Amino acid sequence: MCGINAIYAFPPSAPPVDLDELGRTCEAMRLRGPDAAGQWISDDRRVALAHRRLSIIDVSERANQPMRNRTGDLAIVFNGEIYNYQELRGELMARGDHFDTTSDTEVVLRLYRHEGAAMLPKLRGMFAFSIWDDRTRTLFLARDPYGIKPLYYANDGMTVRIASQVKALLASNAVSRTRDPAGIAGFLLRGSVPEPFTTYDAIRSVPAGSWMTIASAGPSEPKSYFSIAAVLREAVHTRPRSDGERQEIISKAVAESVRYHLVSDVPVGAFLSSGRDSSTVVALAAESGPPLRTVTLRFEEYIGTERDEAPLAEVIARQYGTQHETRTLTGKEFLETLPKALDAMDQPSIDGMNSYFVCKAAAELGWKVALSGTGGDELFGGYTTFKTIPRFVRWFRIFRYMPATGRAFERMWAKMRPQGPRRSPKTAHALKYMHSYEGAYLMKRGLFLPDELPALLGDDLAEEGLRRLAPLAAIREAITPDPGTPFARVAALESSLYMRNQLLRDIDWASMAHSLEVRVPLVDAFLLREVAPVVFTGSRRDGKQMLASSPRTPLPAEILQRKKTGFTVPINDWLEREHKEVPHAFGMRPWALYLYQRALA
């Protein structure tokens, strides 16, 4: 895992690259890559690349970056891992290529020379990279299908600047800090900033599963090469399989993905909770690789309750013979560490503290790589949203054609002014939103609703932010093309929105703050294509059970029978003790407002 940045002064009238600026940006990403650093600048000083390296595959100096090909007309900075690089390397060698390293980065560089953007669907892994092609004077940018690895750019009309972090671009002192109303509105609606927006008007994200180029005329529009919705749409039309066939396909595909995610030249550990997803990943990793190290994070407030992850995690560790550690987080440690964690947070997010502290625990144990069970709920239907959202749409469908009734209900609710900690302020707007998948998803996953933003942001800022964000249209885009069934629609929504903009982004900044690489075997485009035809066809919704049945040695009965609780942190309780002005109210709203106020301070 690494930090990359690039600067391209694309028109002839632009000033040449400032190497001090390049150095400031790169240094801001030191924790992403503490093992090595490098820079390259073209002879005409129009383009420069820089890199911070966390050495995982081919840890020798010969694999440091920026990396150039033998003829010197291509140069790359790469962040991530290509898990099938050895097969791709073999194919290239069969075509006559010769390699100077055993790194996956060199495979990407040589594959690009042969195939350009057409190579992207062949790459199994998580990645964000930039390749300078001197033959065409073009900078090529690409990002992995799910958006596991981030990539941001800022274009002022003369120079394009690229980096792995928003804060790194700001550290250049060459990018405007003007706030983006759309990014701010998006955070308050969802608890994370939806791509391609950031909280800064000048900075955008390269969308997940897309690529773009920057030539002398400037940046192109991003071009998509992967769509979760399209994969699911194709899957739901495949022929039904027997339960035995389904189990075989899922078991084989998940085990294969875990094996690929163990490819490393340094030891790989795993996060272990008491849930099925992480337990399955740990079981499969233990069955297919060398002795495994695992770590569980527990919280002082949860000890002795059903939310305590540690007891059942220790059962899993014993069964699969892992070297296990349990770390306990106290409220005192949380509050003492909170300023450092918030400084590391690249964009505001309400759900990143759990990732930060479990990554901290792994780093303190000396780890460089860890597996996570993230993605199982999105792929196999583990969230309550898979039931509630289709149900809401069925119940409220009639109100799509009765907007006046919805407005009348809002006025009536406002007059009633229902009180109490369990009274959701969103209820007033149920008839307005619940009749569509995009509206029901916003109601279910949202923190605040668009109707509430003027009171928080002011009328003008809220209006501008919502106009540019177009929240319902953006959610609808995640299920375009239509995946075809209620179950598949929710899977596309959860994977493309909640997981991409929140869970995966949180894992990235939280892990990189501790110079730790986190891999997610259940978030894999190759895995999705394999299992989608047997998860999303038919009427049975037993994907989670089949996932848990994938290991050769069955998971303990205690894990299979445990009620899902989710991995949460008692943030509101801890925050209320320290910041009395923050009210303990509905859901995560106090934490979101705290982050919002801090981000704008």
The count of other CB atoms within 10 Å of the CB of residue 403 is 12
384 burial via Cβ count (<10 Å: 0-12, 13-18, 19+): exposed
| pLDDT beyond 70 at 418 | no
| pLDDT beyond 60 at 217 | yes
Is position 597 within any domain? no
Alpha helices in 225-352 (DSSP H): 228-235, 243-260, 276-288, 310-320, 331-344
pLDDT of residue 280: 97
Whole-number Å distance between alpha carbons of 265 and 382: 33
Q: Do residues 218 and 258 share a domain?
A: no
| pLDDT beyond 60 at 583 | no
| pLDDT beyond 50 at 586 | no
| pLDDT beyond 60 at 599 | yes
Q: Do residues 356 and 244 share a domain?
A: yes
Percent of the chain with pLDDT over 70: 93
The answer to whether the CB of 364 falls within 8 A of the CB of 334 is no
Q: Do residues 177 and 271 share a domain?
A: no
pLDDT per position as a tens digit, 135-190 = 999 999 999 999 999 999 999 999 999 999 999 999 999 999 999 999 999 999 99
Taking CB atoms within 8 Å and a gap of at least 24, the contacts of 457-464 are 457/181, 457/184, 457/185, 457/188, 461/181, 461/184, 462/181, 462/185, 464/181, 464/182
Whole-number Å distance between alpha carbons of 458 and 254: 48
| pLDDT beyond 70 at 39 | yes
Question: Minimum mean pLDDT among 4-8, 171-175, 239-243, 278-282: which range?
Answer: 239-243
CATH of the domain at 284: 3.40.50.620
pLDDT of residue 364: 96
Whole-number Å distance between alpha carbons of 434 and 164: 37
> How far is C-alpha 119 from the geometric centre of its chain's CA atoms?
22
Q: Answer with the one of 423, 447, 477 that is the final residue of a domain.
A: 477
SS3 state of residue 124: coil
| pLDDT beyond 90 at 594 | no
Whole-number Å distance between alpha carbons of 22 and 42: 13
- How many domains are there within the chain? 3
Is position 167 within any domain? yes
* Cα-based torsion angle of the residue sequence 242, 243, 244, 250 in order, rounded to the nearest 10 degrees: 110
Please tell me which residue, 516 or 598, carries the higher pLDDT value.
Answer: 516
Question: Minimum mean pLDDT among 520-524, 580-584, 597-601: which range?
Answer: 580-584
Q: Answer with the one of 477, 502, 529 that is the final residue of a domain.
A: 477
Residue at token pair 């394009």: 160
Alpha helices in 163-239 (DSSP H): 166-171, 181-190, 228-235
pLDDT of residue 564: 66
Q: Do residues 415 and 531 share a domain?
A: no
The answer to whether the CB of 316 falls within 8 A of the CB of 275 is no
pLDDT of residue 489: 97
Whole-number Å distance between alpha carbons of 438 and 354: 28
Q: Do residues 21 and 134 share a domain?
A: yes
Q: Could you check whether the bond before residue 481 is cis, i.e. omega within 30 degrees of 0? A: yes
**Nearest CA among 113, 109, 94, 120 for reference residue 63:** 109
Average pLDDT, the chain: 91
Is position 593 within any domain? no
Please tell me which residue, 357 or 300, carries the higher pLDDT value.
Answer: 357
pLDDT of residue 320: 95
Q: How confident is the model at residue 356 (pLDDT cuts 50, 70, 90)?
A: very high
Please tell me which residue, 391 or 405, carries the higher pLDDT value.
Answer: 391
Strands (E), 115-169: 125-133, 138-143, 152-155, 159-163
**C-alpha atoms less than 13 angstroms from C-alpha of 202 in its C-beta half-sphere:** 19
Please tell me which residue, 234 or 575, carries the higher pLDDT value.
Answer: 234
| pLDDT beyond 70 at 373 | yes
Q: Answer with the one of 477, 511, 538 that is the final residue of a domain.
A: 477
pLDDT per position as a tens digit, 62-105 = 999 999 999 999 999 999 999 999 999 999 999 999 999 999 99
Is position 176 within any domain? yes
Q: How confident is the model at residue 585 (pLDDT cuts 50, 70, 90)?
A: very low
pLDDT of residue 412: 74
| pLDDT beyond 60 at 331 | yes
Is position 468 within any domain? yes
Q: Do residues 308 and 409 share a domain?
A: no
Q: What number is the average pLDDT over the span 404-423?
A: 64
pLDDT per position as a tens digit, 111-144 = 999 999 999 999 999 999 999 999 999 999 999 9
Whole-number Å distance between alpha carbons of 357 and 334: 9
Letter for the amino acid at 197? F
| pLDDT beyond 80 at 363 | yes
Q: Do residues 472 and 532 share a domain?
A: no
The DSSP symbol for 192 reads B
Q: Do residues 339 and 445 share a domain?
A: no
Q: Do residues 17 and 108 share a domain?
A: yes
The answer to whether the CB of 69 falls within 8 A of the CB of 59 is no
Is position 575 within any domain? no
pLDDT per position as a tens digit, 307-323 = 888 999 999 999 999 99
**C-alpha atoms less than 13 angstroms from C-alpha of 281 in its C-beta half-sphere:** 30
Q: Do residues 266 and 339 share a domain?
A: yes
Is position 240 within any domain? yes
Q: β-strands 47-53, 138-143: how paired?
A: unpaired
pLDDT of residue 569: 67
pLDDT of residue 558: 84
| pLDDT beyond 60 at 581 | no
Percent of the chain with pLDDT over 90: 77
List phi, psi (to 5°) of 5: -150, 155
Q: Do residues 174 and 302 share a domain?
A: no
CATH of the domain at 188: 3.60.20.10
Residue at token pair 């569509």: 436
pLDDT of residue 584: 43
Whole-number Å distance between alpha carbons of 288 and 281: 11
Q: Do residues 218 and 235 share a domain?
A: no
Is position 590 within any domain? no
> How far is C-alpha 553 from the geometric centre of its chain's CA atoms?
30
pLDDT per position as a tens digit, 252-277 = 999 999 999 999 999 999 999 988 99
| pLDDT beyond 90 at 303 | no
Domain range enclosing 332? 229-382+488-569
Question: Minimum mean pLDDT among 313-322, 403-412, 480-489: which range?
Answer: 403-412
The answer to whether the CB of 521 falls within 8 A of the CB of 281 is yes
